[in-house]
Amino acid sequence: MTILIGQKAPLFEVPAVMPDGDVTDNFNFESTIKNKYAVLFFYPLDFTFVCPSEILAMSNRTEKLRELGCEVVGVSVDSHWTHHAWRGTEIDQGGIGAVPFVLAADISREVSQAYGVLAVASESYYPQGVSMRATFIIDQVGIVRHQVVNDEPIGRNMDDVVRVVEALQFFEEYGQVCPAGWNKGSDGMVNTPEGVASYLSKNAERL
């Protein structure tokens, strides 16, 4: 796996299904996230098991992320037509419904390779591999500030995606770092020995 923290996020142009349901052959990631924060999250496959729960969880938090100036883009190795079919399938039939963010089609697997998250699939009918369950948070100048990868059977906590975006913005605004368990409204920490001592004297028992 590639560690991209502090590096420019790889840019790409691929087919995708847009938030309004339109299908495009040339979704441009660079223009979509220009001067914005972005959440780029990869998942293994459409019409599977853990994946729809994660996508619906992200769907339920997309409005909040947009309020934070953050675009959301999902990626798997499925085609844009498979994305479209899954999006058009009712939730009680195993679909995801009209999710409010882009579903990008990494058919060539070049995007997953660029982000270092292409894994060999257990299913023999995907010998070229599938995307891992990975999340990247990108800042307004296109730098990767957070990345996390879960093993296939372990779903992600999408509340933590929101929390990390808020923590990044808190740091950018106030210059204070965000200690363990930081949530919006919590104290930050001045990153000096005195700042650490002051923070821990008030908060150590709650950590």
pLDDT of the residue at 111: 98
Q: Are 7 and 13 a contacting pair, CB within 8 Å?
A: no
| Average pLDDT value over all residues in the chain | 95
% residues pLDDT > 90 (the chain): 91
Determine which of 16-30, 42-56, 113-127, 189-203 has the lowest per-residue pLDDT on average: 113-127
CA 117 to chain centre: 13
In this predicted structure, the answer to whether residue 202 has a pLDDT above a threshold of 80 is yes
Residue with tokens 């790889």: 10
What angle, rounded to 10 degrees, do the helices at 50-59 and 158-174 form? Answer: 40
Catalytic residue among 9, 17, 39, 51: 51
Average pLDDT over residues 183-189: 95
Residues in the chain: 207
The HSE-up count of residue 175 (CA atoms within 13 Å, CB side) is 3
Split at pLDDT 50, 70, 90, the class of 144 is very high
Give catalytic status of residue 51 as yes or no: yes
Torsion angles phi and psi, residue 102, rounded to 5: -70, 140
Residue with tokens 């991209």: 4
pLDDT of the residue at 51: 95
pLDDT 10s digits, 86-139 = 999 999 998 999 999 999 999 999 999 999 999 876 554 567 899 999 999 999
Q: Where are the domains of the chain?
A: 13-155
CA distance 52 to 96: 6
In CATH terms, is domain 13-155 a member of 3.40.30.10?
Answer: yes
The whole-model pTM stands at 0.94
